[in-house]
Amino acid sequence: MPERAPPAVTNPAADRVEAEASERLAPSPEFLARVATVREALVKTVESAARARSSPLVRALVAGSAARGTFLTDRLDIDLFLLFPPELARERLREEGLALGRAVLSNPETRYAEHPYLRGEFEGFRVDAVPGFAVSDPSAPLSPVDRTPFHQEYLSRRETPEIVDQVRLAKQFFRTLGVYGSEARTEGFSGYLVELLVLRFGSLRALLSAARSWRLPVRLAEPGKEPPRLPAEVALILADPVDPHRNVASALSRRNLALVILSAAAYLDRPSGDWFEPRVPAPMPRNDALARIAERASHVTVVVLPRPDLVDDTLYPQLRKAERAIADELARSGFELLGSASVAGRDRVIVALEVAHARRSTVRTQDGPPPGLDRVGHFLGKWTASDAPVLQGPYVRPDGSLAVESRRAEREAEAVVRGFLPRLALGKDLTPRDPTTVEVSALSGAPESPALEEALRDLLGKRLPWLDRT
């Protein structure tokens, strides 16, 4: 049963669309049975490997969507959690976790989150083997994955077959919008968040019926029980039922929640199967982008930085910080900023900025003090010197303060960006040690790459994703 009774939502067209989508998304009984067999074999194999090496493993379990059947078949990963005693040193945790992962997985590849984990294969399935601690209190985890067994127990006891079907439907709906996934690059809905929302409202449609009237920020936590220390830009507040001090939706951006709120009304008013058919947004080739900015009579500046050796979840927060810093400084420098976008490629990161004009005005107004202050003499001395780049003034403004209009040395956007980049804080790993590794150019001279095409799509191809499909 859902935690709260869903409101009555009658929509025959949506009934048909959702029934067809649910049937298509449901794994076959044979596939579910195979997944269950592989889960059991995986746990037995790793437990045997732990005994063979006298490992301090406390518990191995498969958790997440693969354990509950809430997965989307074409996105199925099996998450194997290797839980060790809380008193085990972190270095030993990493050592034992990786060793057990290598013992059971083929083609293992080391990945990194807070600490290393392994991605490999087991009987034809992709598996992530993740070490953690077997804690007794989910509100006091020692690593981010320590709450997982408690999440597994909480959801497994509450999810009926009907809820499981609705979870798959909701995941596919959010996936179509491009907001499914809590990775730093996506800033969307984690699988756990989707399951809690469907459990809370009872169905995808009941969730969307509520969401169409939401206003940011959305608070679904009970009054007085909101997680503490929430950031100002929070989008959605939903306390983790196994740890009320944690906001399950902390990774969700306001942009993505706003997209869901708008889509809820659009879908309920005009349901169709397109809402459950994800499509990969097409990148924008440079020539198409040049034609677009010619039509807009605007200008695009591209900054290319070396990519540090970081995983996306660590890199993207820094990249977005760098994008904001460059965009804000460009606007402060006298350019009318129309938009910005950033993307991390394989060996480079891209920041693309659109401004109304390629060149700023020659004139820069310098504010001066009002008469009667000691620094008036310094201001007048500076701006009446023979070599001062004065175009007009000094003069007195209507409000009584002094001003002067000076000549700017740099006018082109690219030259201005090159000038201020060395003094900007771009993120501890993005700030280049060697300034010569940074490329700043107009779009027409920017090196072509898949990352650039993605950034141009995000910068110049903004449009609600369902407008061309419903």
Domain ranges of the chain: 12-276, 286-359+411-460, 367-407
Mean pLDDT over 124-142 rounds to 95
Tokens (6 digits) for 370: 């009002």
Share of the chain above pLDDT 90, in %: 83
The angle formed by the CA atoms of residues 309, 313 and 314, to the nearest 5 degrees, is 50
Write down the CATH superfamily of domain 12-276: Beta Polymerase, domain 2 (3.30.460.10)
pLDDT for 404 beyond 70: yes
Mean pLDDT over 346-363 rounds to 95
**Structure confidence by residue, pLDDT tens digits, 261-280:** 999 999 999 999 999 999 88
DSSP letter for each residue of 137-183: -TTS-SSTTTTHHHHHHHHHTT--HHHHHHHHHHHHHHHHHT-B--S
Mean pLDDT over 394-413 rounds to 93
DSSP reduced 3-state for 108: strand
Would you say the pTM of this structure is higher than 0.85? yes
Question: Residue 158: exposed, middle, or buried by beta-carbon count in 10 A (0-12, 13-18, 19+)?
Answer: middle
At 224 the pLDDT is 66
pLDDT for 420 beyond 50: yes
Q: Do 46 and 131 meet the contact criterion of CB atoms below 8 Å apart?
A: no
- Quick one: which H or E segment has residue 433? none
pLDDT for 97 beyond 80: yes
Alpha carbon distance 193, 181 (integer Å): 10
Mean pLDDT over 357-372 rounds to 91
DSSP reduced 3-state for 356: coil
pLDDT for 375 beyond 70: yes
At 436 the pLDDT is 85
Write down the CATH superfamily of domain 286-359+411-460: Poly(A) polymerase predicted RNA binding domain (3.30.70.590)
C-beta contacts of 246-250 below 8 A and 24+ residues apart: 246/139, 246/147, 247/221, 248/190, 248/192, 248/193, 248/196, 249/189, 249/193
Q: Do 86 and 134 meet the contact criterion of CB atoms below 8 Å apart?
A: yes
Mean pLDDT over 235-261 rounds to 94
pLDDT for 313 beyond 60: yes
Domains 12-276 and 286-359+411-460 share a fold: no
pLDDT for 50 beyond 50: yes
At 280 the pLDDT is 86
